[in-house]
Structure 1
Amino acid sequence: MSLYEKIKNREEKISLVGLGYVGMPIAVSFAKKVNVIGFDISEEKVELYKKGIDPTKEVGDDAIKSTTVEFTADESKLKEAKFHIVVVPTPVNVDHTPDLRPVESASRTVGRNLTKGSIVVFESTVYPGVTEEICIPILERESGMKCGEDFKVGYSPERINPGDKVHRLETIVKVVSGMDEESLDIIAKVYELVVDAGVHRAESIKVAEAAKVIENSQRDINIAFMNELSIIFNKMGIDTKAVLKAAGTKWNFLNFFPGLVGGHCIGVDPYYLTYKAEQLGYHSQIILSGRRINDDMGKYVVENLIKNLIKADVPVKDAKVAILGFTFKENCPDTRNTRVIDIVNELKEYGITPMIADPEADAEEAKHEYGIDFDSVEDIKEMDAIVVAVGHDQFLRFTQEDFNKMFKEGSYESKVLLDIKGILDRKEYEAAGYKYWRL
């Protein structure tokens, strides 16, 4: 009987190593079909899951309460599993070089608890070659076993979109790869248990690694193009959103929009690809150009905020500014690698310490990562300027009257409103006299 059959018949278990915004939903999904061990090094996170609390808001508390996933922070429990899925972050360092410490640490953990006949599948986004050149040697060293003989390895890039209730594990075609035909077949069949959209069998592990890293690089470049258009059209006095709406009537126009590019994928993955290219003697032209544009958008937003404060005759130093939204994307509590922090830091260069309100964000995470304490939306009053930085559903429901309450008393012409995501009706606020600006 193959490993796949044993897993399907609940004679062997699957483990998920890393229970964050991506790993936890995968664990919950698999647990509907097979026996699953969910491991994370954070005891605090594991305890929340055991209590039926979903801090990520990805599947909800009810799903956590009803799941059969065996949540644990005890790595020795991994010995009970024969199919390991590693889903840990792959961030970049300050100098934009890959930070492989999380995936290396996870490889050591799995390696220490690996048993003969196991398969290890990595889902973390990496540059081509990491799985075979870095992860496999760690697994061999820690386990004392030989890859290809005692255990096998594969790679299947994660494609879950945090905060997205439509594009989930089950509904997105899953790219899978294995070190040989046997491992590829087992890995494909295991994922087919939960992925209704089906799987794509990549030719090799490196092909699968490359496919993932270019998916987000492509999005990054397209958004950079939109951001550059926004800068150009702003100088021309043309509304970028109106231009894109008109251009979007053509059947083959790609619907991308300007904005801050943060999170763990789009703003990070391109650096993995360009890093490997540099090692091979090629300096990226397009990819790094796009990254430079996107990395500078926070500064560009603040420059326009300052210009509008000056136009409104508001003294820049100590101006009262509030930022609505701090997460890296709408309707998601995740604040890690949010580019809203660029706006905060740039404002401080002008002597402005903004109030920040985000009812969706993980407040503890923001405090730990950035040293930021959130204010409540109700506390935002007497402002000179408001920056709507994230398009949370709650903010979409705000009316002009709601914004009026946040500003100082006085003429509308002194009210500066920056709408980074373009969620408000521009004509409505301009007609009222607001100094309205958006990308």
Structure 2
Amino acid sequence: MALPTPAEKIAVLGLGYVGLPLALALARAGFDTLGFDTDAAHVALLQQGQDRNGEVSDTSLQSSTARFSSAPDALQGCSCFILAVPTPITDAKAPDLAPVRGACATIAPYLAEGALVILESTVYPGVTEEVCGPELSRLSGLQAGAQFKLAYSPERVNPGDAEHSMENVVKVISAQDEETLDRVEAVYAPVIKAGLHRASSIMTAEAAKVIENTQRDLNIALVNEFSLIFSRMGLDTLEVLEAAGTKWNFLPFRPGLVGGHCIGVDPYYLTYRAEQLGYHPEVILAGRRINDNMGVHVTQELIKTLLARGINPSGARVLVMGFTFKENCADTRNTRVADIMRELTAYSVSPDLYDPWVDPHTALADYGLTPITAPESGAYDAMIVAVAHDQFKEMGSDAIRALGKPGAVLYDLKGVFGKSGSDLRL
């Protein structure tokens, strides 16, 4: 017996790593689903069954009943609007809510009485009801909480992670009232196999999301600080962590670069709101400073090692392997490898950037960098394995060393090849 078609007609705004998988999942659950994005070129590829981010397969796209559009009038008649747009920070480390406000402006003309608006983007507590609500009311002429309803359900997408897919991770849901929360549950329950957690309020859900990544950021900052200390002691940090990890309650965090759209950004949303309320968060901001400066530390360690081997950094050729913010995905947002590239250039080093996952046009447009298509054999004074892509692991340390000159330095930031397989590790 066929299941009844769900009543909601859903529009998902923002077709990136969060919105696109969600739109496809909702369509699979039987919802009439529209995926909307302002990037017409991206939408055109999706309509042809291709995801340039590589997060969903061409087969999934081509078999989906979801529709895709960059024309705002396609939103006409939708009863539920899910906003999955980016929430970046400014150069001053303040929240940039322009994409959220832009999404509100896009859907406002198409809000009808009884509409449901769900925000999925990471924000500081209060944004859904204090920013989105008034903005939508002003632009649509409808009253938030009465003529249309607000809800918040933070995304928990981990790009490139098939194990922790959207369907397999518990999802937090919240809304302005219990009746609306039931409606939100009816939207997500057919999609999220791991279950839903009903938060008591929208602000509780917003706060829960923003501290998830803040906690992880601080734990990584702690082991990064261990690394800064142990490097001055001549100790191998990963060996120390391995020894400490034999205790049952020692947490298995490792040092590294902290980039991406979540961990390196979300804490600033919380600290911004805290400072608005007159509280200066010291621990969170200290962790951010440590993590944001790791690219400088990596470069300085390499320069010292080159000098110790009698290699003049000025004009030295260095191969930087990996540019995405994490392994096995194409996402370069807020990648801290860019800091290494900038620091190397400041030392008059000549760096080559190589990453088989990265679209060269994106790297050039966003960072002014042009990745090489393939590294040269025997050409480099040092090789930095900055991202643990499977392709680099499969090459092995011997093949990577063959890319360098005799005596070249292999700096394995992720500890992929073990102590014996590299000259430097974080």
Give the partner amino acid of 1:419. Answer: D
Match of 2:322?
A: 325
Deviation, structure 1 residue 54: 1.5
Name which of structure 1's ranges 218-227 and 363-372 shifts more when overlaid on structure 2. Answer: 363-372
Correspondences of 1:4-403 after superposition (within 5 Å): 9-33=5-29, 34-379=31-376, 381-403=378-400
* Percent identity between the two aligned chains: 50
Pick closer, same or farther for the CA change 1:142–1:381 going to 2, 3 Å: farther
- Cα displacement (A) at 1:404: 3.1
Which deviations, in whole Å up to 9, do the C-alpha atoms of 1:84-123 show, x marking residues without a partner? 1100000000010111101110111111221221100000
Aligned partner of 1:418 in structure 2 is 411
Note the alpha carbon deviations across 1:115-139, whole angstroms, 9 max, x for none: 2211000000000011111111111
CA contact (8 A) 1:366 1:372 kept: yes
Structure-2 separation of matches of 1:69 and 1:331: 26
Secondary structure of 1:85's counterpart equals strand
Pick which of 231-240 and 333-342 moved more.
231-240
- 3-state SS of paired residue (1:120): strand
Native 8 Å contact 1:78 1:114 kept in 2: no
Q: Structure 2 counterpart of 1:438, which letter?
A: R
State the distance in 2 between where 1:392 and 1:115 align.
Answer: 47
Aligned partners of 1:8 and 1:311: how far apart in 2?
71
- Alpha-carbon distance in 2 for matches of 1:252, 1:219: 16
Structure 2 stretches of 5 or more lacking a match? none
| Alignment deviations for residues 174-209 of structure 1 (CA, whole Å, 9 cap, x no partner) | 000001111111102211110011101101000000
Q: Secondary structure at the match of 1:121?
A: strand
Q: Does structure 2 retain, via aligned residues, the 8 Å contact 1:156–1:208?
A: yes
1:128-179 deviation line (CA, Å, top 9, x unaligned): 0111111111111111111122110000000011110011111111000001
Task: For 1:133, give the aligned amino acid.
Answer: E
Q: Is the 1:87–1:123 contact (alpha carbons within 8 Å) kept by the matching residues of 2?
A: yes
What is the rounded CA distance, in whole Å, between the counterparts of 1:250 and 1:65 in structure 2?
49
Query: Do 1:262 and 1:338's aligned partners in 2 also have CA atoms closer than 8 Å?
Result: yes
* Partner Cα distance (1:255, 1:28) in 2: 34
1:310 Cα deviation from its structure 2 partner: 0.1
Equivalent residue of 1:206, what SS?
helix
- After superposition, the C-alpha distances for 1:199-255 in whole angstroms (9 at most, x for unaligned) are 011010000000000000000000000100111111222211112222222222211
Question: Deviation per CA, 1:405-429, whole angstroms, max 9, x where unpaired?
Answer: 2112x3xxx3111111111122144
Q: Does the 8 Å CA contact 1:322/1:380 hold for their aligned counterparts?
A: no
Write the distance in 2 (CA, Å) between the matches of 1:403 and 1:228: 28
Which sections of structure 1, spanning at least 5 residues, go unmatched? 1-6, 430-435
CA–CA distance in 2 between the matches of 1:393 and 1:318?
30
| Residue identity opposite 1:17 in structure 2 | L
The question of whether the paired residues in 1 share the 8 Å contact of 2:224 and 2:290 is answered with yes
Is 1:344–1:353's contact at 8 Å kept on the other side of the alignment? no
Decide whether aligned partners of structure 1 residues 146 and 396 sit closer, same or farther in structure 2, where only a CA change above 3 A counts: same
Q: How many residues align?
A: 423
Instruction: Report the 3-state secondary structure (helix = DSSP H, G, I; strand = E; otherwise coil) of the residue aligned with 2:134.
Output: helix
